[in-house]
Amino acid sequence: MRITALFVVLGGLAALSCMETVASTEALSPLSETMLLRSPRGEAPLEAKLELEDGVARGHVEWARTCRRVVLVRERTQEVERRKPSYPAAAMAGVIAVGAGAGGITLLDNLDDFSSEVTCDTDHEGKESCSSPREDAAVGGVLLVGTAIALAAASVVTVASKPMIVEGGVHMSDPRASRVLAENAPCGDGAVAGVGLSLYLAQERVAASVTDANGDVAFSVPDWVSGPLTLVVDSVPPMPTTILPGQAVGTVRIEPAPKTVPW
């Protein structure tokens, strides 16, 4: 009797899932933004002209017209769950509720028809359990009535429920260039300020400086330096930029100082 009632309860609990859920991935409107991209040919985003006077190389750094202004697009998708009442499941729960309730009430109303004699059983682990048919009928009746109440409540709640949408996380793809707005565009706006630069003779750094608010820069060049020097980016301000450290952005040639011969 207990086993039968337990199976009815388990069946009722399975019927409590009266909502249908359909998961899907839906496309959202893409996000677009205008950005400057560095030259695909590796051209420097800066250009500089330096002049040497009295051991000081001075010059002005400005944005080179080597970049492209493009529209970047990111595709977006979202996980969505649509939940709606399952009316067939609700009807089944109602039918089971009626049957379980009727069976439970019948058992409880006829307890006197069951014997009250207690018998004991020993399971395979050696544990002894004792009960009477009347006690088993009472427990089964209570379980059946409880199952009927739960299933009836689930059926009513399902019928009264409204469809709902549960939105999940949004996923974005890597940006892709949608269209090119301008070729040979300046690689930045305003003055090239706060950029760290160095002068290199071959692989040796011989001078370093930082551009001022106007993009001007000055290097103190040692007397012994002569020949072609390369202007290289050391550091950039902490903001989005097309400049990369290590890029060569210009050259300057230092002529050797003339030797004087004493007479």
Range of weakest confidence among 134-143, 163-172, 235-244: 134-143
Paired tokens of 33: 């933004």
> Mean per-residue pLDDT for 254-260?
60
Query: Which of the residue ranges 73-77, 155-159, 221-225 has the most confident prediction, judged by mean pLDDT?
Result: 73-77
Selected residue with higher pLDDT from 113 and 186? 186
Question: Taking a C-beta distance cutoff of 8 angstroms, is the pair 54, 154 a contact?
Answer: no
248 pLDDT more than 90: no
Tell me how many degrees the CA angle 33-35-40 measures, rounded to the nearest 5.
Answer: 135
Paired tokens of 86: 């399952």
Selected residue with higher pLDDT from 193 and 120? 193
Selected residue with higher pLDDT from 162 and 77? 77
> Mean per-residue pLDDT for 187-193?
90
What predicted TM-score, i.e. pTM, was given to this entire model?
0.53
The dihedral region occupied by 176, where left means phi > 0, alpha psi between -120 and 50, and beta the remainder, is beta
Which pLDDT score, from 0 to 100, does residue 12 have? Answer: 47
Question: Taking a C-beta distance cutoff of 8 angstroms, is the pair 131, 1 a contact?
Answer: no
Paired tokens of 85: 């009442």
- Phi/psi at 112 (nearest 5 deg)? -65, -15
Other beta carbons within 10 Å of 260: 6
Percent of the chain with pLDDT over 70: 86
Percent of the chain with pLDDT over 90: 16
Question: Taking a C-beta distance cutoff of 8 angstroms, is the pair 46, 187 a contact?
Answer: yes
151 pLDDT more than 80: no
